[in-house]
């Protein structure tokens, strides 16, 4: 009995922090989402509106567009990061000159704050000043103008995210590759498996937990991307890079539509959870179900 009390005592600070900074704000946001509350409205008080905010979301073209853009962004960025991250991890498994230096330099983007990454990429892409539009024009005669061309802006945000976060995937997969036992590979070699078969039937299954962890982390991050994109494009041109995090920020802060923004946040959280669950169910749980007794 006494040991239980001591345990709770030690846990108390964590529980308190979790409640103050996690549970209570979540409940607060949930409650607000059922109210019509804009502090700059004719009536700035909170008025109960039932599920009106949730209903309005279904018809909000801006929200749906932001959601769709975010999904596209997430799929493009995360898929590229996993493929590139795996290739780099395999590269780092081999020995080559200046490997240590290359690995350190490759990891540097991880240490940079997202807002600084956005600012750096903005400087690199701003017309009349940035090297990217300058050299694309000089060498290829290609007009690179992310403040005007929707496709260019979208792809630049994807490339920026890949540049920033691929090292995380690389390090995750490198750790997984380093800890793999040699025996299955030796066995595959004895059985006459070629490189593709070895990758498909040996490396990939053993790497799957690490890949899934990386995908979950990166996908959740992609769903809440704000600062990098805000610095680079401000969500433009038009709504091309107005991803869901940025859209929610605009609704809640400049627009001060707290009730609607709260509903949007909760729906986005719910969709993120559902997406991760579907991914888990599709890639892991289904395989477990198929496994013979």
Q: How far is the CB of 44 from another protein (least distance, A)?
A: 7
Q: Which of residues 70 and 203 has its CB atom nearest to another protein in the complex?
A: 70
Residues that bind another protein (CB under 8 A): 38-44, 62, 126-129, 133, 143, 145-150, 233-242, 250-251, 253-257
Q: How far is the CB of 261 from another protein (least distance, A)?
A: 11
Q: How far is the CB of 272 from another protein (least distance, A)?
A: 23
Q: Which of residues 85 and 237 has its CB atom nearest to another protein in the complex?
A: 237
Q: Which of residues 153 and 207 has its CB atom nearest to another protein in the complex?
A: 153
Q: Which of residues 109 and 236 has its CB atom nearest to another protein in the complex?
A: 236
Beta-carbon contacts of residue 33 (< 8 Å; ≥ 6 apart): 53, 54, 259, 262, 263, 265, 266
Q: How far is the CB of 237 from another protein (least distance, A)?
A: 3
Q: How far is the CB of 231 from another protein (least distance, A)?
A: 10
Q: Which of residues 126 and 202 has its CB atom nearest to another protein in the complex?
A: 126
Q: How far is the CB of 228 from another protein (least distance, A)?
A: 13
Q: Which of residues 43 and 293 has its CB atom nearest to another protein in the complex?
A: 43
């Amino acid at each position: 009995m006494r040991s239980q009390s001591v345990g709770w005592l030690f846990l108390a600070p964590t529980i308190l922090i979790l409640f103050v900074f996690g549970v209570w704000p979540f409940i607060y946001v949930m409650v607000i989402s059922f109210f019509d509350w804009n502090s700059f409205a004719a009536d700035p008080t909170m008025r109960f509106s039932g599920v009106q905010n949730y209903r309005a979301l279904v018809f909000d073209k801006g929200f749906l567009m932001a959601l769709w853009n975010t999904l596209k962004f997430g799929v493009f960025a995360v898929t590229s990061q996993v493929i590139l991250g795996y290739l780099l991890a395999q590269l780092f498994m081999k020995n080559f000159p200046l490997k240590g230096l290359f690995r350190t330099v490759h990891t540097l983007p991880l240490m940079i704050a997202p807002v600084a990454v956005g600012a750096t990429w903005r400087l690199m892409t701003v017309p009349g000043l940035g090297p990217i539009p300058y050299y694309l024009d000089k060498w290829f005669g290609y007009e690179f103008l992310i403040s005007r061309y929707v496709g260019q802006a979208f792809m630049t945000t994807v490339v920026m995210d890949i540049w920033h976060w691929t090292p995380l995937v690389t390090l995750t997969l490198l750790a997984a590759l380093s800890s793999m036992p040699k025996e299955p590979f030796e066995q595959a070699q004895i059985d006459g498996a070629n490189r593709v078969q070895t990758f498909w039937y040996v490396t990939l299954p053993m790497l799957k937990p690490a890949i899934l962890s990386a995908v979950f982390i990166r996908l959740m991050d992609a769903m809440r991307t704000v600062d990098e994109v805000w610095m680079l494009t401000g969500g433009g041109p038009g709504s091309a890079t107005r991803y869901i995090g940025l859209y929610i920020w605009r609704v809640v802060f400049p627009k001060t539509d707290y009730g609607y923004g709260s509903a949007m946040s909760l729906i986005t959280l719910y969709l993120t959870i559902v997406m991760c669950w579907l991914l888990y169910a599709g890639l892991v749980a289904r395989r477990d179900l198929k496994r013979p007794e």
